Every structure is written in structure tokens, then in C-alpha cells.
């Protein structure tokens, strides 16, 4: 179990700005911790599943300029099976199971709306267990999941109280 403290939050936020920044650069920017300690903390957070460092691909750079959110109503015995099936498709960038009106939500990337239409009608709706779909074209994304930061109120609470967040 890894306990995240205010220094870890600062390291994470720096890496979110530039995931290739070296431990020595991070240590210099923080000014309160050594390069070795930064490297150790990063490795520990990766090992514990707190963070993951990877490239973020922009679908638009590959001609996939149309994005759609699709919500699926699925027969209760098939929810996980349908979600796993959707995760297999290359043009599906996000899959999640939910509680509420829809059971599975996916995000689809495509060249244009006709490609989205074809995928939803000929693939998604014909998947065993899918009862209904609702599709919404996404013309603009203002904040994506990889841009999420530890909320200031949480890091502020940690700074003020000396508390740590426990992962796992």
C-alpha cells in the first residue's frame, strides 16, 4: 500500500505537464527533494498503480476527426461481455460500465459521421445483448481524462493536516 503525500502530488502534476521530464529537472523545480528521491517516488507510484506514464495519441493526427459518445442499454446478463467486446475494437477509445439508464458507455473515433453511423448500426447494435443505443457526436473536448489533476482541495487538505492518501 502506497501513501501519497503532497510531494507526490507535486511530482504527478509536473509529470502531467511533461511526462518526459527527468527526475533531476523535477527535483530542481521542487527544490525540496533530491533527484534520487524523485526517481524512487516515481518508480514506487508506477509499481503501485498510482500513475502510469505513456504517450497520449491525438486521433485527429491520424485522420480520425469525428468523435462520438455512445451509450448502450444492455441485457443484464450480457453487460460485462458487451463491454469487453466493445474494448476489442480499434476505433473505440473508451469503454466503461455504468449504473443508471445506460449500462455501457463507449467513445468512438472515426473519419466522419457516416463511419460512426455504420459502426453503431452494423456493429454495436448487432452485438448480442445490446437492446438500445444513444449516440452523441462530440464536436469539442475541453478536458480529457489524461488532463485530470489531483483536486486542489485534496492536496490542500494534505498540506494543512499532514494527511496522506492511501492507494490500493
Residue 47 is assigned to a structural domain of this protein = yes
For position 63, which CATH number holds? 3.30.70.920
Number of domains in the chain: 2
Confidence at residue 161, expressed as pLDDT on a 0 to 100 scale: 53
Confidence at residue 158, expressed as pLDDT on a 0 to 100 scale: 59
Question: Do 70 and 99 share a domain, yes or no?
Answer: yes
Question: Do 134 and 76 share a domain, yes or no?
Answer: yes
Task: Give the phi and the psi of residue 78 in degrees, each rounded to 5.
Answer: -120, 5
Residue ranges making up the domain that contains 29 = 1-56
Q: Which of 32, 44, 35 is nearest to 6 (CA)?
A: 32
Residues of the chain with pLDDT under 70: 155-168
Question: Do 82 and 39 share a domain, yes or no?
Answer: no
Q: 95 and 106 in contact (C-beta within 8 Å)?
A: yes
Residue 154 is assigned to a structural domain of this protein = no
Confidence at residue 79, expressed as pLDDT on a 0 to 100 scale: 98
Global pTM reads 0.79
Confidence at residue 21, expressed as pLDDT on a 0 to 100 scale: 96
Question: Do 17 and 69 share a domain, yes or no?
Answer: no
Question: Do 10 and 72 share a domain, yes or no?
Answer: no
CA pair distance 24, 13, nearest whole angstrom: 16
Amino acid at each position: 500500500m502506497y501513501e501519497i503525500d503532497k510531494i507526490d502530488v507535486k511530482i504527478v502534476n509536473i509529470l502531467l505537464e511533461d511526462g518526459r521530464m527527468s527526475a533531476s529537472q523535477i527535483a530542481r523545480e521542487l527544490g525540496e527533494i533530491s533527484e534520487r528521491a524523485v526517481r524512487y517516488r516515481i518508480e514506487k507510484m508506477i509499481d503501485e498503480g498510482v500513475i502510469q506514464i505513456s504517450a497520449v495519441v491525438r486521433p485527429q493526427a491520424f485522420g480520425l476527426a469525428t468523435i462520438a459518445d455512445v451509450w448502450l442499454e444492455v441485457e443484464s446478463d450480457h453487460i460485462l461481455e458487451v463491454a469487453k467486446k466493445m474494448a476489442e475494437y480499434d476505433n473505440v477509445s473508451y469503454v466503461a460500465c455504468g449504473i443508471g439508464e445506460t449500462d455501457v458507455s463507449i467513445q468512438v473515433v472515426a473519419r466522419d459521421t457516416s463511419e460512426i453511423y455504420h459502426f453503431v448500426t452494423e456493429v454495436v447494435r448487432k452485438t448480442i445483448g445490446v437492446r438500445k443505443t444513444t449516440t452523441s457526436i462530440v464536436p469539442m473536448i475541453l478536458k480529457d481524462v489524461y488532463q485530470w489533476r489531483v483536486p486542489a482541495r485534496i492536496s490542500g487538505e494534505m498540506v494543512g493536516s499532514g494527511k496522506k492518501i492511501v492507494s490500493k
